[in-house]
Amino acid sequence: MEGTRAVPSPLESDRLREAAKNVDTDELESLRRKIIELEREFLLAQVQQQVISDLEATTSLASLTAHLANMNVAESRAVMLTRKKQLWATCHERDLAVRQVQDTLGQIDVTRQALQHAEADANAVAVANAAARDEWKALQKRNTQKKTVLEMAFNVQITNEQSCADLLERQAAAMQEDHEREHALDDQILDLTAQVKQSYEVLEQLRQDATRQAEDVHILEQTKKYAHLNEIMQWYIEMQALVTHLTGLRVLRVEASHFDVQVGDFELRMVMDPDSIKLQQVQVRSSKPNKVF
């Protein structure tokens, strides 16, 4: 309708919302009141203009008399009804425009609050990221130190964390096997020692009777068993030396919760969990004086 204010399109509303993002709340409220006041002034001016136009059409008594004589009441009523409808339509459009402006202002306020929350969240995330980054750097430094110690201790090249974990797992498994083998050998030594002692006692008794039973078959058999036991003990000593030569590991001490192993110029203390038999800690030090890692 000519002379009425058009409702802003969605694109215009978006531009208005974008332009008003950083506007203060008091300024937005002042703008809203000013828009409503301008709408009222515009509507009043439009009505006044229509009345003035009607009055200008009858500027003299003769023209007014002629106008009244030629006036059709029904037509005049229809014109008045039409103008009334136009007036109501204009008021309705004004109300729609005001509501849309209010909605736009509300959306701008919501958007501004969302931006403020987003900015606060972004700052919190930045602080958390900085803390995580510092923690990661410290962890990388500790891992590098552990990697260097392991590479020097075992003379291997560790390329990544997985290879380090694999190396520790293999070493723990190997040490556990050596520990079990050592226990088995210790048990075997005890058995052999007991057998040797028993055989030695028997042999001493037999030696006392040797002058009387020199040709006795039983004594000869016991003598052979004693010699065989000596061969077994010598075999065990040689096997233990061979294991030390092949693996480079020499068990120094075995305790309830740890055992010490010598690897070349280094001594490793393996701290184990007695219940789960899992490796808990590895301490490396040089067997040479004044050289500790």
174, part of any domain: yes
What pLDDT score was predicted for residue 133? 92
Pair 207, 271 in one domain? no
Closest by CA to 174, choosing from 261, 67, 86, is 261
Q: Does residue 258 contact residue 175 with C-beta atoms inside 8 Å?
A: no
Q: Does residue 183 form part of some domain?
A: yes
Assess if residue 90 is contained within a domain: yes
Do residue 123 and residue 168 come from a single domain?
no
Residue 216: the pLDDT is: 60
224 and 118 in one domain? no
Q: pLDDT value at position 134?
A: 92
261 close to 253: Cβ distance less than 8 angstroms: no
Averaged pLDDT in 10-residue chunks for the chain of 293 residues? 42 53 64 74 70 60 63 69 79 80 81 84 89 90 79 68 70 83 84 84 76 63 84 78 72 78 81 81 73 46
Instruction: Report the domain count for the chain.
Output: 3
Q: Does 220 fall in a domain?
A: yes
Q: Are 182 and 68 contained in the same domain?
A: no
C-alpha 263/C-alpha 284 separation (Å) is 10
Query: Is residue 16 domain-shared with residue 93, that is, in the same domain?
Result: yes
pLDDT at 2: 38
Q: What is the pTM of this model?
A: 0.29
Are 199 and 275 within one domain? no
Answer yes or no: do 23 and 128 share one domain.
Answer: yes
Provide the pLDDT for residue 7: 42
Closest by Cα among 262, 271, 277, 279 to 153: 262
- Domain check: are 164 and 194 in the same one? yes
Cβ-Cβ contacts under 8 Å for 56 (sequence gap 6 or more): none
153 domain residue, yes or no: no
| Range(s) of the domain holding residue 224 | 160-228
- Quick one: pLDDT at residue 9? 46
Two structure tokens written together for 53: 């136009």
Residues 35 and 128 in one domain: yes
**16 and 68 part of one domain:** yes
The answer to the question of residue 240 being in a domain is no
- Indicate whether 243 belongs to any domain: no
Q: Are residues 53 and 92 in the same domain?
A: yes
Within a domain: 95: yes
Do 217 and 269 sit in the same domain of this protein? no
